[in-house]
């Protein structure tokens, strides 16, 4: 017996059940018996308005002549039910408190990224306890949230850390609460090595780009160890070509720093400037008054990875990690690397010693002496 597959889809703003099967004259004749059935070229399937009656009709028509595979449809329906069950709304009081918290963060000059991250994390936490008054939430509730929400859903330790940071800061600024923020412990951080590309892979990646603007952006990230936001926030005045320096202003932690500019990157930037003539932001978007879009930059990176045929899940931040590692392998002192990258603590920079192959490659395996 042949198999037909059922799937629930949104087609032309209507919920439909799609019916798929390999070309078969007999099945084609039978499917036409279903009420309001139609063929869709875009879906490459037969479809009818989704309803319990239509599902029963499909079962009646095909039950004796084909195997009905409804596994995908059942999974979709279950996900929809779960989404409805999980769809909760915060009380007006909770929304008000989150707004107050965001105002407090902004008044302390936290970055907008941090404000957004903390407010979303706090919203997730308060939604979990939507039946409780905020003043009634205790330290035991935080433990319950970690165990029954974060761990149960297998969410990352970094997300858990964000939530804990948000909770601690929020309840520290609250009054009349039974929460003791000082007793909330952050999760133990996992030791994860940074992802690094070889110099040959970096060269292959950058040379795959023919667009001078795209090449200049990725090259500048690698050549100066920049974060994505640092590149997009650069202004023309931040390039000091006379001293071969780039000024990174008010980056992570609200700090300014400088990084050396190579002569090769200066030449590339001059080519880019001659072709695009930016007026304020170093890398402008389609609108001359706006910065280049983050998603567009990620898309440039994705295209470069595909063109260079590097079979790794490379992201923009890999370029920064690679820069630091290659500096270390060239013999640059860790203290200078820390300064260039803008790390507050030397321990953050020291992680690159674990991925540098400078010393590791010199180690002779005892296996070679057997």
Instruction: Please compute, for residue 21, the number of CA atoms within 13 A of its CA located in the half-sphere on the CB side.
Output: 24
Instruction: Note if 352 is an active site residue.
Output: yes
- Taking residue 246's Cβ as centre, other Cβ atoms within 10 Å add up to 25
Please, what's the b/e burial string for 17-42 (b: 16 or more CB within 10 A of its CB; e: otherwise)? bbbbbeeeeebeebbeebeebeeeee
Torsion of CA 216, 219, 221, 223, to 10 degrees: -130
Respond yes or no: is residue 227 known to be catalytic: yes
Q: Which one of the listed residues 20, 123, 252, 307 is annotated catalytic?
A: 252
Instruction: Supply the pLDDT for residue 203.
Output: 94
CA 215, 216, 222, 227 torsion: positive or negative? Answer: negative
Which pLDDT belongs to residue 363? 62
What confidence score (pLDDT) does residue 319 get? Answer: 93
Domain ranges in the chain are 2-86, 92-183, 199-354
What pLDDT shows up at residue 54? 93
Residue 366: per-residue pLDDT: 67
Q: How far is CA 237 from CA 222, 234, 246, 277, 289, in A?
A: 20, 8, 9, 14, 15
Say how far apart CA 354 and CA 107 lie, in whole Å: 39
Phi-psi group of 250: left, alpha or beta (phi > 0 → left; psi -120 to 50 → alpha; rest → beta): left
- Sign of the C-alpha dihedral computed for residues 59, 65, 66 and 67 taken in this order: positive
Kindly report the length of the chain: 370
What is the DSSP secondary structure assignment for residue 219, as one 8-state letter? H
Greatest CA separation found in the chain?
82
Catalytic residue among 168, 257, 320, 321: 320
Identify the active-site residue in 11, 249, 307, 317: 317
Catalytic residue, chosen from 47, 128, 323, 352, is: 352
**Side-chain half-sphere of 66: how many Cα atoms within 13 Å?**
23
Say if domain 199-354 classifies as CATH 1.10.10.1100: no
* Contact residues for 361 (Cβ-Cβ < 8 A; gap 6+): none
* Annotated catalytic residue, options 8, 168, 214, 227: 227
Q: Alpha-carbon distance 183 to 282, whole Å?
A: 46
186 catalytic residue (yes or no): no
- What is the spatial distance between Cα 282 and Cα 271, in angstroms, rounded to a whole number? 13
Looking at the DSSP assignment, which residues form a beta bridge with residue 16?
9, 49
Rg from Cα positions in the chain: 28
pLDDT tens across the length of the chain (370 residues): 788 999 999 898 899 999 999 888 899 999 999 999 999 988 889 999 999 999 999 999 998 899 999 888 988 887 777 666 566 678 888 899 999 999 999 999 888 888 999 999 999 899 888 888 888 888 898 889 888 888 888 888 888 888 888 998 998 887 667 677 677 777 776 666 778 899 999 999 999 999 999 999 999 999 999 999 999 999 999 999 889 899 998 877 678 888 989 899 999 999 999 999 999 999 998 887 889 998 899 999 999 999 999 988 888 999 999 998 888 888 888 888 888 888 878 877 877 777 776 666 666 666 566 5
Closest CA to 322 of 163, 237, 230, 205: 205
Q: What's 73-92 look like in SS3?
A: HHHHHHHHHHHHHHCCCCCH
Catalytic annotation on 108?
Answer: no
> For domain 2-86, which architecture applies?
2-Layer Sandwich (3.30)
Residue tagged active-site, from 228, 257, 326, 343: 343
| Sequential DSSP letters for 57-73 | HHHHHHTTTEEEE-HHH
Cα–Cα distance for residue pair 17/169, rounded to 1 Å? 48
Beta-bridged to residue 48, according to DSSP, are: 17
Of 37, 44, 41, nearest to 16 by C-alpha is: 37
Q: Which two tokens stand for residue 13?
A: 């703003």
CATH code that applies to domain 92-183:
1.10.150.130
Q: Which two tokens stand for residue 265?
A: 């990157």
Active site residue 252: yes
Position 334 scores a pLDDT of 83
């Amino acid at each position: 017996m042949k198999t037909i597959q059922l799937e629930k889809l949104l087609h032309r703003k209507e919920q439909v059940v799609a019916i798929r099967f390999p070309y078969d004259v007999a099945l084609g004749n039978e499917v036409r018996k279903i009420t309001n059935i139609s063929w869709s070229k875009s879906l490459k399937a037969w479809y009818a308005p989704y309803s319990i009656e239509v599902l029963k009709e499909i079962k009646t028509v095909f039950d004796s002549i084909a195997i009905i595979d409804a596994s995908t449809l059942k999974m979709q329906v279950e996900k929809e039910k779960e989404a409805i069950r999980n769809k909760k709304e915060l009380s007006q009081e909770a929304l008000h408190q989150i707004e107050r918290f965001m105002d407090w963060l902004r008044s302390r000059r936290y970055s907008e990224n941090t404000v957004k991250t903390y407010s979303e994390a706090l919203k997730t936490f308060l939604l979990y306890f939507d039946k409780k008054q905020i003043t009634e939430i205790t330290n035991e509730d935080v433990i319950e949230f970690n165990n029954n929400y974060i761990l149960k859903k297998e969410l990352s330790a970094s997300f858990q850390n964000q939530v804990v940071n948000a909770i601690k800061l929020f309840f520290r600024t609250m009054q009349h609460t039974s929460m003791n923020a000082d007793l909330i412990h952050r999760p133990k951080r996992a030791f994860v090595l940074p992802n690094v590309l070889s110099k040959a892979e970096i060269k292959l990646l950058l040379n795959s780009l023919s667009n001078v603007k795209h090449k200049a952006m990725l090259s500048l990230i690698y050549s100066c160890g920049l974060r994505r936001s640092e590149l997009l926030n650069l202004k023309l005045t931040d390039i000091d070509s006379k001293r071969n320096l780039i000024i990174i202003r008010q980056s992570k932690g609200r700090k300014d720093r400088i990084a050396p500019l190579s002569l090769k990157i200066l030449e590339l930037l001059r080519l880019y400037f001659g072709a695009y003539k930016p007026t304020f932001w170093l890398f402008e978007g389609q609108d001359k008054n706006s910065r280049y879009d983050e998603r567009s930059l990620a898309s440039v990176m994705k295209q470069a990875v595909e063109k260079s045929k590097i079979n790794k899940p490379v992201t923009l931040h890999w370029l920064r990690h690679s820069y630091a590692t290659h500096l270390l392998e060239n013999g640059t002192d860790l203290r200078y690397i820390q300064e260039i990258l803008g790390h507050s603590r030397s321990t953050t920079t020291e992680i690159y010693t674990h991925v540098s192959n400078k010393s590791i490659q010199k180690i002779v395996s005892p296996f070679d002496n057997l």
